[in-house]
Amino acid sequence: MAKKPVTPASKVAAKQAAVRSRHQEDVFTLDPLIDPIFQKGELRSYLVTEPSPSVLKKRSIHTKEYWMLSSLLLIAFYVRMYNLSNPNSVVFDEVHFGGFARKYILGTFFMDVHPPLAKMLFGAVGAIGGFKGDFEFKSIGDKFPDSTPYIFMRQFPALLGVGTVILCYLTLRQSGVRPIIAYITTFLLIIENSNVTISRYILLDSPLIFFIAAAIYAWKKFEIQIPFTFGWYRSLLATGIALGLALSSKWVGLFTVAWVGFLCIYQLWFLIGDLSVSTKKIWGHFFARGIILLGVPIALYLGFFAIHFQLLNKEGDGGAFMSSAFRAGLQGNKIPRDITEQVGLGSVVTIRHVDTQGGYLHSHEHFYQTGSKQQQITLYPHLDSNNKWLIEPYNGTIHNETFVPLINGMKIRLKHINTGRRLHSHDEKPPVSERDWQKECSCYGYDGFAGDANDDWVVEIVNYRSQKGEAQTFVKAINTIFRLRHAMTGHYLFSSEVKLPEWGFGQQEVTSASQGKRALTHWYIETNENSILPPSEAKIINYPKLSLWQKVVESHKRMWKINQGLTSHHHWQSSPSEWPLLLRGINYWNKEHKQVYLLGNAVTWWAATLSIITFGTYVLVTVFRWHLGTPLSTNKHVFNFNVQTFSYVLGWALHYLPFFIMGRQLFLHHYLPALYFGILALGHFFEIFTGYLTSRSKYFQQVAFVLVGLFSILSLVFYVNYSSLIYGTPWTKASCELTKPFSGWDYNCGTFFDTLGEYDIQEKSLASESEIPTETVVVEAKQTPKAEPKLAKQDDHIESPAAAEPVEEKEVKEEVEQLAPPLAVDFEEETPKVEDPQVADVDASSNDEKSVEEKQQQEQQQVEDESVHQVQQ
């Protein structure tokens, strides 16, 4: 048969047909997968791990997909940017994170439980928008003044939310999902109610999820690169950077680092089994991944903390959480300076507790209501004359001719300067603590009383915590850490975060103890005055400047401690067991008969949970069948589904399950990073359902696509029906009541008007500044660290008339002094936990006889201890 001649016209027609075919394949039926390659070795078969160059080409974004990406971008932009000016007042945790942004602008130090990056970004955006820090973000519902660029600041998380949407699409494409399925899955993320809500306000969740999404995308891009090529290193470095950004925003980023770490181990296992990969290359994989995926995040994390400390260089309310050495580096601090280093008999000193923030060893003319009813001994966080103690020899008077240094093992007494009574301990139960190994500490004595053996304490220097050299033999101000052992009982002067009741002004209890954490018996001298020491011999010191590492370590100790202390009940907290089923939401804002309530898109939420459960069941069944001899499928669709879905379900588990072992307050938004992994897994279920499982019949594939499309419409309907809770827009009571299938969805339908027309009337009334009654529900922000004046009340230091006479001390037999003191060696038992670590309110009581100077000092101390805005995760 003669060959049909090829004409130019037929060539053009054939080319156009090929273009049309390629266009249709790219968008709907593009196959981004290749068959896995197995080779036979001498003893076994093995999987070839090196990706084929064709995979990268198949999964790259084609020009035909640009319209899809553009439409996703526009829809996401509209959904997240819509009506950002509403509410025009502070919403939920904007109280904290808006307040932190303000403090970055002002440069005042604060303490928070989260790393600094996301907060610094909000501060930078606020500064760019012209925010001068003149609005405090003090309470939920506070109206923003015109000078606060809150819309501009809210646009930042909204843009990151849009970026997360694009990353979701790109990630699904890199993991082998067809464009149409990636499009549908990403659309579900766009209209996922909770993700929309957290993207619209000054909260940390949107930056966190964006950085996690960036890490996932970079990792999936890395997986299909040819090893040790430029693209491979570039994707690996991008993964490390994204991990560092996530970790620097919230500690949840550690779970993402762990996810990448697990996948590295998983892949290295297959690399070791790949006989085509040399040992040298395996080590190359190991070192490259280890250095970049650990080194880069750590470097970024420390770098952002360095910037954080540089920006917050002024004394602020967060200083109450930090040590004196840390605060000494802040501008405007009140930390003592130019201190005489040599400490000896006759020195007037202030003594600080090392391992709590209780402050100085303190006494005042107020008395215990229990036990011996002698004068109180407490820890007090403020500079005060009642913190001063005279160091006396235990057996005589001080000789003013010669300076006698305080050395390790010396027995001394501590006499309270203002009251003349001595630090004392005896066999009485403490006022609050109930452990048998703790005894009461008090101040005891009166005019003409020389003291007794229960006033004697032995100085024991803690060598490993003291500065090397003389400070390990002689007690030096600031540089020597020591313990005070009661000579009679062998107990050590001890304090934990247990607080005295109201009669003790909420100040921190001090006892003597034979057990407990050893560090809670550690003390040091901060100020020191000694008239016996010749001025020419006095060595003047100050707190040393802390290194970046020392600041980071101290900050993290405080962050961890505060985080562990967030245990009080919050009305909107929830249990991790409730999150996958979306049993409860969070009320974010409620004002002017409108409401913002964090609630997920139940259609997408439940489908993601179902996909996780289904995959877990599928894995168990497949492994069981494999043990019975059924070979694992090597079909490219099944193989890719198994590998990719496993990685996303692993990510879901690592970002969800750890919350079960956390004892702190937890909220629904803590589940959102895990939900993102669940949505990615859901996309692979759509892929296998509309592809491999229905591939034998075109009709079944069409039905599968219709079902996925109907699912998307159902999700869209949910988004629309509940959109008033996202945007804080008008809603009616009747419409609201129709949307409450569960009691746990506890948004208040009584908040809304009966008709939409009433909102128009309200708007006109508000515009004319006329007052109308509005139903407002108080929304509670999350508990976060506070260093308010609630812990240590300032006492008036005036002894009450009822306690004017000294309480008679029990008789002490002379021979008791000669007994060898028992040694307290068991100092490892945990001390009791304290529910409220916060500083107590400044005592409202005052005394007319106080000097003006004392009153000014109290006012200054109140200012110093203004509360740190709290934060959650």
Q: What is the share, in percent, of the chain residues with pLDDT greater than 70?
A: 85
pLDDT of 399 higher than 90: no
For residue 402 the two structure tokens come to 């010669």
Question: How many C-beta atoms lie closer than 10 Å to residue 208's C-beta?
Answer: 29
Mean pLDDT of the chain: 86
Q: What is the mean pLDDT of residues 234-242?
A: 98
**What is the 8-class DSSP label of residue 417?**
T
The conformational region for residue 506 under phi > 0 = left, psi -120 to 50 = alpha, else beta, is left
Q: What's the pLDDT at 869?
A: 36
Q: Of the segments 384-393, 692-701, 790-799, which one has the largest average pLDDT value?
A: 384-393
DSSP class per residue in 547-583: PHHHHHHHHHHHHHHHHHT--S--TT---GGGTTTT-
Q: What's the pLDDT at 760?
A: 87
d(CA 565, CA 174): 42
pLDDT of 95 higher than 50: yes
Q: 850 falls in which pLDDT band (50, 70, 90)?
A: very low
pLDDT of 21 higher than 50: no
pLDDT of 16 higher than 80: no
- Cα-Cα-Cα-Cα torsion 347, 348, 350, 353, nearest 10 degrees, comes to 40
Q: 27 falls in which pLDDT band (50, 70, 90)?
A: low
Residue 739 phi/psi, 5-degree rounding, is -105, 20
Q: What's the pLDDT at 712?
A: 97
pLDDT of 825 higher than 50: no
pLDDT of 183 higher than 50: yes
Q: What's the pLDDT at 775?
A: 45
Residue 170, CA distances (Å) to 174, 460, 503, 680, 746 in order: 6, 64, 63, 11, 36
Name the 3-class secondary structure at 511. strand
Question: Is beta strand 375-380 parallel, antiparallel or unpaired with respect to 438-444?
Answer: antiparallel
d(CA 307, CA 69): 36
- Are 112 and 559 spatial neighbours (Cβ–Cβ below 8 Å)? yes
Q: Tell me which of 22-26, 437-441, 596-600 is least confident.
A: 22-26
Q: What's the pLDDT at 25?
A: 56
pLDDT of 820 higher than 80: no
Tens digit of each residue's pLDDT (9 = 90 or more) over 612-654: 999 999 999 999 999 998 888 889 999 999 999 999 999 999 9
Residue 391 phi/psi, 5-degree rounding, is -85, 120
d(CA 604, CA 606): 6
Nearest-10 crossing angle of helices 672-690, 698-721: 150
Q: What's the pLDDT at 45?
A: 86
Q: Tell me which of 233-237, 525-529, 764-768 is least confident.
A: 764-768
d(CA 399, CA 344): 11
Q: What is the share, in percent, of the chain residues with pLDDT greater than 90?
A: 70
d(CA 78, CA 159): 11
Tens digit of each residue's pLDDT (9 = 90 or more) over 643-680: 999 999 999 999 999 999 998 889 999 999 999 999 99
Secondary structure of 579-591 in the HEC alphabet?
A: CCCCCCCEEEEEE
d(CA 342, CA 533): 8
**What is the 8-class DSSP label of residue 378?**
E
For residue 255 the two structure tokens come to 């779970």
Q: What is the mean pLDDT of residues 759-765?
A: 86
Tens digit of each residue's pLDDT (9 = 90 or more) over 322-358: 999 999 999 999 999 999 999 999 999 999 999 888 8
pLDDT of 862 higher than 80: no
pLDDT of 871 higher than 60: no
Q: Of the segments 132-136, 236-240, 701-705, which one has the largest average pLDDT value?
A: 236-240
For residue 708 the two structure tokens come to 């996925």
pLDDT of 817 higher than 60: no
Q: 57 falls in which pLDDT band (50, 70, 90)?
A: confident
Q: How many CA atoms lie within 13 A of 333 on its CB side?
A: 21
Cis peptide before 544 (omega within 30 of 0): no
d(CA 220, CA 543): 49
Tens digit of each residue's pLDDT (9 = 90 or more) over 104-127: 999 999 999 999 999 999 999 999
Specify the amino acid at residue 529: E
pLDDT of 818 higher than 60: no
Residue 365, CA distances (Å) to 63, 233, 797, 841, 854 in order: 82, 69, 6, 19, 16
For residue 813 the two structure tokens come to 């037999």
pLDDT of 575 higher than 50: yes
pLDDT of 459 higher than 50: yes
- Are 276 and 48 spatial neighbours (Cβ–Cβ below 8 Å)? yes
d(CA 523, CA 520): 8
Q: What's the pLDDT at 769?
A: 58
d(CA 590, CA 65): 42
Specify the amino acid at residue 228: F
Specify the amino acid at residue 15: K
pLDDT of 789 higher than 50: no
pLDDT of 550 higher than 60: yes
Specify the amino acid at residue 828: E
- Are 102 and 90 spatial neighbours (Cβ–Cβ below 8 Å)? no
Could you tell me which residues are beta bridge partners of residue 805?
none
Full-model pTM = 0.84
Q: How many CA atoms lie within 13 A of 226 on its CB side?
A: 7
Distance from chain centroid for Cα 538: 45
- Are 32 and 58 spatial neighbours (Cβ–Cβ below 8 Å)? yes
Q: What's the pLDDT at 567?
A: 78
d(CA 484, CA 410): 10
For residue 640 the two structure tokens come to 């890719």
Q: What is the mean pLDDT of residues 536-556?
A: 94
Q: What is the mean pLDDT of residues 850-867?
A: 41
Residue 760, CA distances (Å) to 422, 596, 674, 756 in order: 72, 19, 41, 7
pLDDT of 450 higher than 70: yes
- Cα-Cα-Cα-Cα torsion 222, 226, 229, 234, nearest 10 degrees, comes to -10
Q: Tell me which of 29-38, 174-183, 680-689, 754-763 is least confident.
A: 29-38
Task: Quote the longest CA-to-CA distance of the chain.
Answer: 133
Residue appearing with tokens 């000193």: 349
For residue 676 the two structure tokens come to 């993102």
Tens digit of each residue's pLDDT (9 = 90 or more) over 187-230: 999 999 999 999 999 999 999 999 999 999 999 999 999 999 99
Q: What is the mean pLDDT of residues 372-394?
A: 94
pLDDT of 787 higher than 50: no
- Are 872 and 321 spatial neighbours (Cβ–Cβ below 8 Å)? no
- Burial category of 571 from C-beta neighbours within 10 Å (exposed 0-12, middle 13-18, buried 19 and up): exposed
Q: How many helices (H) and strands (E) does the chain have?
A: 23, 21
If we measure between CA atoms, which residue out of 312, 113, 139, 317 comes closest to residue 789?
317
Residue 767, CA distances (Å) to 48, 579, 763, 775 in order: 70, 41, 6, 18
Sign of CA dihedral 174, 176, 180, 182: negative
For residue 722 the two structure tokens come to 């509940």
Residue 59 phi/psi, 5-degree rounding, is -100, 5
pLDDT of 819 higher than 50: no
The conformational region for residue 850 under phi > 0 = left, psi -120 to 50 = alpha, else beta, is beta
DSSP class per residue in 249-279: T-TTHHHHHHHHHHHHHHHHHHHHH-TTS-H
